[in-house]
Structure 1
Amino acid sequence: MLYLLLYPLHKYYSGFNALRYETLRSVLAGLAALALSLALGPILIDRFRALHIGQTIREVVPQTHQKKAGTPTMGGLLIVASMLAATLLLANVLNPYVWIAIFVTLTFGAIGFSDDYFKLTRGKGLGLSGPAKLVWSFSCAFIAAAWLFLYLGFDTHLTVPFLKNVHPDLHTWFYIPFAMLVIVGCSHAVNLTDGLDGLAIGPVMTVALTYWVFSYVAGNIKFATYLQIPYIANVGEVAIFCASVIAASLGFLWFNAYPASMMMGDVGALSLGGAIGTVAVLCKQELALVIAGGVFVAEAASTIIQRYYFKATGGKRFFLMAPLHHHFELRGIPETVVVIRFWIVSIVCALVALSTLKLR
């Protein structure tokens, strides 16, 4: 909104002309999101404590987690509020790509909020059932994908990492399910990763930073042509959204670092994962998400492997516990060490994903 109000003034004051650059507005949006999250964090924590909105701990997780019971949860509201406020202030709100990202963030956040709310009110961690969350997630993802491909006429060719001349066309009716799978898969993978203090939010920031770069270069015809990636007019505005995600997440980490005084809950994990998956689709770097989000992929894969191995072997376990971070905990590695090492892996994955821009 500020962009639409202030940028026209460049006709009279040349300094406002700088607002046309996504890089500057990304910095401003990041500062705004960071300031909001740091300012609102203590208020939300006190409010959640007063309302007894505390984390419920399942019995199946390591016993060391039981001491976290009662920690204020649903901190994802802090992230979502901060990032959306900053995006609306600094991005061009007439850009449809920005609204698709906002739509997925809000709807997936609503699904997560419902799950968190039911866990609190029903007790014993009884939130939305797994099938219910998937149905609602795929429904919201379908609206976003249909909006993108049927209404906006989005290109349905894939960009394959490291292969510059390979662009398979899935066509609309195959690409819509594929886009839905990317969005929902990323959302639930982030949710599975959110099991230790600060664990999920670190990779969220590294992946969001990766896609800040991807969205910026995809929306810049000179960079896109030079790097031989698909040019998508106006998608550069999504970079402001990504910068808001990074900064709001950084502010949340202030309160989520070990020992956490606030947890994000499903409202944060599902919305952030959905946002990242949507941005991956918007800037035509869906397959690179497997690389950039390597930590999320490993966490989701470990859960799937554990489940099917358990059924196939009649009760045996492939990992000591799934998702993967619990396996390392049960091997005696301290929680903080697991978190930092996962962050390091996430940074390496992000760098490899960014290298696909040039290594083709």
Structure 2
Amino acid sequence: MLYYLFDYLNELNFPGAGVFQYISFRAGMAAFLSLLITITFGKNLINFLRRKQVGESIRDLGLEGQMQKKGTPTMGGLIIIAAILVPTLLFAKLDNVYVVLLIIATCWLGLIGFLDDYIKVFRKNKEGLAGRFKIVGQVGLGLIVGLTLYFNDFVVVREIDNASSLTTREVQDFQRETGPTTDKVHYKDKKTTITTVPFVKNNELDYGKILPEALRQYTWVLYVLVVILIITAVSNGANITDGIDGLAAGTSGIIGITLAILAYLSGRIDFSSYLNIMYIPNLAELVIFCTAFVGACLGFLWYNAYPAQVFMGDTGSLTLGGVIAVLALAVRKELLIPVLCGIFLIENLSVIIQVSYFKYTKKKYGEGRRIFLMSPLHHHYQKKNIHEAKIVTRFWICGILLAILTLATLKLR
């Protein structure tokens, strides 16, 4: 909203109003405001949740220090959602399709997570929202995101014929250009389902070319199914990762910074040309959302780092995972998710492997056996008597290494 106000003031030659034209300035302000909201109002939310007795119910799993967390306020994801939405609404262009899509995803998954936490806390039902309803909600969001990214006319990839010869001034002039051509630049916008394939020289995959020629008219069905799968998997992965103090918030913050960099590079004609990656018009506006996202995660750590004063609950974890998935899809880097979101992936796999192996051995030997001491994986290390603060720090380090590897794929082909 402030963008439009200052854009109007800039037209009136109001001193300093032009600074809002710069994405870097608005992104920095979004991150600052997001941090300010979480740190300033986080304590008020914690006190409110305590008064309402919105405390976490803890199952005794025999983990050190676990029962001390009983009664810790949950549903802290509400402050994360507020810290994402408020700066985005203030500093981003609200007519941008990518920004609108991310706002919808944040609210949608926040509502699903809130219902789950509400049932657990106020209805005293430890199971929370039935799994099938969560899946329906995630599938619903996948349909919205997939259909929008496929059919919306503003979701395009722009091909530049002679971008490599552009000067900085010409790049700036081009980005303000609204016509199909300029004297020095020729380009065309393509509606396409291409995405980036990591570690490959010609690193673009078109979903449409996966299908036989006769079925390519149904490319949108394949694409939407992929979107649904990715949103569901990453959202649930973040939810599973949220098991010890600071793990999900810190890991999500690292992923958010990486996606902000990728969005900025892909949304700039000069950088995308230099790196030989696809140029996606209007995508750089997502940097404002990403920095608000990162600020919310880091600000939440103020109260969620060990020993946690508040838990994010499903309100936060489902939202963080789903938002990360939609961001990756918008940047067309969804095939990098196994690398970038490697922590979420290995946490998910540890549960799948543990449950599958237990069922298999029970059927074969009459007695269930386990590969891990406990799943998800972070509980395995807790069972090995490693302090949870050390586990979280090591997982963060792994997340940083995975983020660096993700960025390295821009050149490692």
TM (norm. structure 2) is 0.85
SS of 2:41 mapped into structure 1:
helix
- Opposite residue 134 of structure 2, the aligned amino acid is K
Q: 1:14 and 1:178 mapped to 2: Cα distance?
A: 48
1:208 is aligned, of 256, 277, 284, to: 256
**1:351 is aligned to 2:352:** no
Per-residue CA distance 1:77-124 (angstroms, 9 max, x = gap): 001001100011000011111010111111111110000000012325
Q: Is the 8 A contact 1:164 1:228 kept in 2?
A: no
Q: Deviations over 1:120-162 (max 9, x none)?
A: 1232512012222112211122112112212345531121012
* Cα distance, 1:319–1:193 mapped onto 2, change above 3 Å: same
Paired residues, number? 360
Residues 1:253 and 2:307 are matched in the alignment: no
The yes-or-no answer on 1:244 pairing with 2:292 is yes
The residue aligned with 2:236 is: 188
Distance across 2 between alignment mates of 1:100 and 1:339: 31
Q: Are the counterparts in 1 of residues 60 and 66 from structure 2 also a CA contact under 8 Å?
A: no
> Quick one: structure 1 residues 59 and 31, their matched pair in 2 at CA, closer, same or farther if it must change by over 3 Å?
same
Q: Which amino acid aligns with 1:289?
A: I
Match for residue 4 of structure 2?
A: 4
1:7-18 alignment runs, 5 A limit: 7-11=7-11, 12-13=13-14, 15-18=16-19
Distance 1:225 1:348, change over 3 A: same
Within 2, Cα distance between the matches of 1:121 and 1:48? Answer: 12
Rounded Cα–Cα distance in structure 1 between residues aligned with 2:403 and 2:62: 29
Aligned to 1:20: 21
CA contact (8 A) 1:61 1:326 kept: no
**8 Å contact kept, 1:3–1:90:** yes
Q: Is the 8 A contact 2:275 2:411 kept in 1?
A: yes
Aligned to 2:311: 263
Bigger shift: 57-66 or 238-247? 57-66
CA offsets, 1:138-195, max 9 Å, x none? 1122112112212345531121012131322113221111122112211110000000
Structure 2 counterpart of 1:30 = 31
Deviations 1:35-73 (A, max 9, x none): 111111011011000000011113447363122111010
Q: TM-score of the superposition, structure 1-length normalised?
A: 0.97
CA–CA distance in structure 1, aligned partners of residues 8 and 198 of structure 2: 39
Deviations 1:228-280 (A, max 9, x none): 11111101111100000000111110000111101000000001111111000
Q: Which residue of 2 aligns with 1:128?
A: 129
Mapping of residues 139-154 of structure 1, within 5 Å? 139-152=140-153
Instruction: Name the amino acid aligned to 1:320.
Output: L
Which secondary structure does the structure 1 equivalent of 2:372 belong to? coil
- 1:63-78 residue pairs with structure 2 within 5 A? 64-78=65-79
Structure 2 equivalent of residue 159 of structure 1: 196
Q: Which residue among 370, 377, 380 is the counterpart of 1:324?
A: 377
Partner of 1:230: 278
CA contact (8 A) 1:58 1:125 kept: no
The one of 323, 326, 336 aligned to 1:275: 323
On the 8 A contact 1:210/1:354 being kept in 2, the answer is yes
What do residues 281-335 of structure 1 show as CA deviations (whole Å, max 9, x unaligned)?
0011111121111111111111111111111111111111110000000011111
Decide whether the 8 Å contact of 1:227 with 1:357 is kept in 2. Answer: yes
2: CA distance, partners of 1:177 / 1:260: 37
Measure, in 2, the Cα distance between the counterparts of 1:66 and 1:146. Answer: 45
- In structure 2, relative to structure 1, the CA distance for the partners of 1:277 and 1:61 (3 Å cut) is farther
1:118 touches 1:128 (CA, 8 Å); kept in 2? yes
Task: Tell me if structure 2 keeps the 8 A contact 1:33–1:86.
Answer: yes
**What CA distance in whole angstroms lies between the structure 2 residues aligned with 1:336 and 1:137?**
31
Q: Which runs of 5+ in 2 are unaligned?
A: 157-191, 209-219, 363-367
- CA deviations on 1:187-226 (whole Å, 9 max, x unpaired) are 1100000000101111100000000001111111111111
**Deviating more after overlay: 211-220 vs 160-169:** 160-169
- CA–CA distance in structure 2, aligned partners of residues 85 and 229 of structure 1: 32
* SS of the residue 2:237 aligns to: helix
Q: CA deviation at 1:20?
A: 1.7
Flag structure 1 segments of 5+ consecutive residues without an equivalent: none
Match of 1:338 among 372, 388, 391: 391
Letter in 2 for 1:84: L
CA contact (8 A) 2:78 2:315 kept: yes
**One-letter identity of the residue aligned with 1:217:** L
Q: In terms of mean alpha carbon deviation, does 332-341 or 50-59 score higher?
A: 50-59
Please tell me the residue identity of whatever aligns with 1:49. R
Specify the code of the residue in structure 2 equivalent to 1:266: D
Tell me if structure 2 keeps the 8 A contact 1:58–1:124: no
Name the amino acid aligned to 1:311.
Answer: K
Equivalent pair of 2:195/2:206 in contact (CA under 8 Å): yes
SS of equivalent to 1:168: strand
